[in-house]
Structure formats: structure tokens, C-alpha cells
Amino acid sequence: MDRESNLNRAETFSFVNPWIRYFLFFFSFLFWVFSLLIAGIGVYAKVQKATDTVRDTFLIDPAVILIVVGVVMFFITFCGCIGALRENIRLLKTFSFTLTLVFLIQLVVAVLGFFYSDQTQDALGKFVKKAIVHYRDDLDLQNLMDYVQKEFKCCGWNNYTDWSWNLYFNCTRENPSSERCAVPYSCCTPVPGETVINTMCGFGVQTQTFLDANKSIYPVGCADRAVMWMETHLLLVGALSLGLALPQIAGIVLSQILISQIQNEIAPPF
Ligand SMILES: *[C@@H]1O[C@H](CO)[C@@H](O)[C@H](O)[C@H]1NC(C)=O
Ligand SMILES: *[C@@H]1O[C@H](CO)[C@@H](O)[C@H](O)[C@H]1NC(C)=O
């Protein structure tokens, strides 16, 4: 081969596959925008609740979790985005390494959560207990509990008598609240054909037996319901986990391929 054609070849031939490069770029860019959104929602929630003291009762503020997840994701996807665009090996290696780290942490948490499912349930139960205690003090918690109870057709954590944890619904004789022994409306079973919503349907049910309460509310606790839901939606749970894991694995594999291609470009293997 003469010198000229050799030079031409060097100009047009590249070890770096543009499809992989641009796919990694767009893919990281998408999640980069998404990370800004997550962090933004976290900051918004934090600012809105700045004066709220109820949040202090929780060990970890959910808004802070959003901010941390958003910032970490921002950093990682930024490395992937700019690394792919500029073919920067250092950024791509940082992307690959941190993504692998995050993936492994998630894997460990998932495996621990599976093997220590009793402890996981205890932790969830403690969270729900706090949500029940502060049901009337925090609109977010109230909406969350109402949503869970309506969606899962359940009441309380163990059963409907858990609502005694709340000052307003506490069923001791001395409680002066007008809602003594009641449960929130979100526990109520819809009455077919009823046009006017009976918001009082949960009143006094804590004094009733399970079978009597069953006539007006969902008496089963949300813990049992959640387990039942998991068992009947195993496929969905698996698909969701895969949906979380696949983009990460794809990012790790693609960035590794790109790194080796760029390295070949710098120092060809022949
Ligand atoms: C509700 O749950 C508590 C705690 O598990 C239990 O002690 C109580 O007997 C249950 N009440 C009914 C009516 O099932
Ligand atoms: C209900 O209130 C009484 C009196 O304040 C308290 O002793 C009791 O523990 C409360 N019940 C529950 C289930 O927390």
C-alpha cells in the first residue's frame, strides 16, 4: 500500500462505532434531564415543607432522598453524556465505575431486603405507624395513607384497630375526640348505588368485631394486603426490577465497549 492511500484510510476508518457513541450520548442525556427533574421535585418538596416540624419525626426526609438520588444521577449521567460526546476515556471510566457501584449497591440492598424480609416489614410497619400517628398533622402523609388504603383495600398496618395509634381515633374511653374509635373514610367499602358519600361510615368501627367491621370497611391490615399483592403481581415486580437494572447494565456494557474502541483508536492493536 502506498503512503497516500494509507493516509486516506486513516482519515475515514475509525475504531469508534458512531452508533454506540451516539446511543450512549442520547441515553445518558435522557437520564441526565430526568435527574434534574428528580432533584427539582426534591428541592420543591423541601422548600414547601421548610417550616414543617413533623418531618423531623422521620429519620430520613423523603425530599432529601429525592435530592440525593437526583444529584448522584446527575453526576453519573453527565460523565456518560460528555464522555461519549468528547470520547473522553477518563469521564467514560468514571461513568462505568460509578454506575457499576450503584448497580451493586442496589443488588445488595435487594438481596438483603429479600433475605431479611421480616426486618424489612418491621421497618415499613414503623413508617406506617408514624404515618398513622401524624395522619392529621401532615397533608402528604394523609394523602399517602388514604391512597394506600383505597388502592390496596386495607385499613391500618395489622388491622383497623391500629388507628388507635392516632390521637383523634384513639379508642380509649377517656378520649374526648368526636372521632373516638373511628377509622378514616379511606377504609370504607363503597356502597353500591350510594350517591351521597357517607363520610361517617368509619365511625365507631374499632369497637366492632372483625366480621361486623367487614360490613362497612376493609378490616384487613395493609401489611397482609401488601404481601398478597406481591404474590399475585410477581411478574410485575420482576419486570419493574428488570426495568431498573437493564438501563444500568446497558450503560456499563456500552461504555466499556466505547472505552476499548477509543483505546484502540489511540493505540491500534496492529
Ligand atoms: C388487630 O391486630 C392486633 C395486632 O396484631 C391484634 O392484637 C388484634 O387482636 C387484632 N384485632 C382484630 C380485631 O383482628
Ligand atoms: C390511646 O391513648 C391512651 C391515652 O392517651 C394511651 O395510653 C394508649 O396507648 C393509646 N392507644 C394506642 C393504641 O396507642
Task: Note the pLDDT tens digit of each residue in 68-109.
Answer: 999 999 999 999 999 999 999 999 999 999 999 999 999 999
Ligand 1 geometric centre to CA of 120 (Å)? 20
Residue identifier of the C-alpha nearest atom 3 of ligand 2: 172
pLDDT for the residue numbered 211? 93
Better-predicted residue by pLDDT, 88 or 63:
88
Residue 189: count other Cβ atoms within 10 Å of its Cβ.
14
Residue 57, pLDDT above cutoff 60: no
What is the best residue among 159, 160, 187, 205 to mutate for testing ligand 1's pocket, by most ligand atoms within 8 Å of CB? Answer: 159
d(CA 20, CA 256): 11
Which ligand sits nearest to residue 165's alpha carbon? 2
Q: Cβ(161) to ligand 1 under 6 A?
A: yes
Does some domain include residue 69? Answer: yes
Residues 88 and 85: their CA atoms lie apart, in Å, by 8
**Ligand number with the minimum distance to the CA of 180:** 2
Number of domains in the chain: 1
The count of other CB atoms within 10 Å of the CB of residue 161 is: 21
The ligand minimizing its distance to the Cα of 172 is 2
Round to whole Å and give the CA distance between 209 and 85. Answer: 66
Q: How far is CA 240 from CA 26, 162, 229, 249, in A?
A: 22, 31, 14, 15
Residue 52 located in a structural domain: yes
CA distances for 57 relative to 24, 41, 47, 52, 127, angstroms: 42, 21, 17, 10, 10
Q: How far is the CA of 131 from the centre of ligand 2 (A)?
A: 16
For residue 230, what pLDDT is reported? 87
CB 168 within 8 A of CB 179: yes
Please give the pLDDT value at position 258: 96
58: confidence class by pLDDT, cuts 50, 70, 90: low
> 1 pLDDT band (50/70/90 cuts)?
very low
Share of the chain above pLDDT 70, in %: 91
Q: Which of 115, 213, 129, 201 is nearest to 164 (CA)?
A: 129
Lowest mean pLDDT segment, chosen from 46-55, 78-87, 218-227: 46-55
Q: How far is the CA of 221 from the centre of ligand 1 (A)?
A: 9
Please give the Cα distance from 43 to 58 (Å, whole number).
17
Tell me, yes or no, whether 196 lies in a domain: no
Q: Alpha-carbon distance 30 to 251, whole Å?
A: 12
**6-21 pLDDT, tens digit each:** 555 555 678 899 999 9
Q: What is the largest CA-CA distance in the chain?
A: 101
List, as one string, the DSSP characters of 176-207: --TTTT---GGGBPPPTT--S--TTTTTTGGG
Which one of the ligands is nearest to 163 CA?
A: 2
Tell me: pLDDT of 117 over 60: yes
Percent above pLDDT 90 for the chain? 68
Euclidean distance between CA atoms 241 and 248, whole angstroms: 11
The answer to the question of residue 135 being in a domain is no
Which domain does 259 fall in, by range? 1-116+234-266
| Between 133 and 268, residue with greater pLDDT | 133
- Determine the distance separating the centroid of ligand 1 and the alpha carbon of 38, expressed in angstroms: 39
Q: With DSSP H G I counted as helix, E B as strand and the rest as coil, what are the percentages for the chain, rounded to 5?
A: 70, 0, 30
Q: Which of 160, 170, 173 to mutate to test the pocket of ligand 2 (most atoms within 8 A of CB)?
A: 170
Residue 19 resides in a domain: yes
- Whether 250 is in a domain gets the answer yes
Mean pLDDT (the chain, rounded): 89
Q: Which residues pair with 217 in a beta bridge?
A: 188
Contact 28, 81 (CB under 8 A): yes
What spacing in Å lies between the alpha carbon of 171 and ligand 2's midpoint?
8
Question: Is 90 exceeded by the pLDDT of residue 190?
Answer: no
Residue 28: predicted pLDDT = 96
Whether residue 138 lies inside any domain: the answer is no
| 159 inside domain | no
Has residue 170 got a pLDDT over 70?
Answer: yes
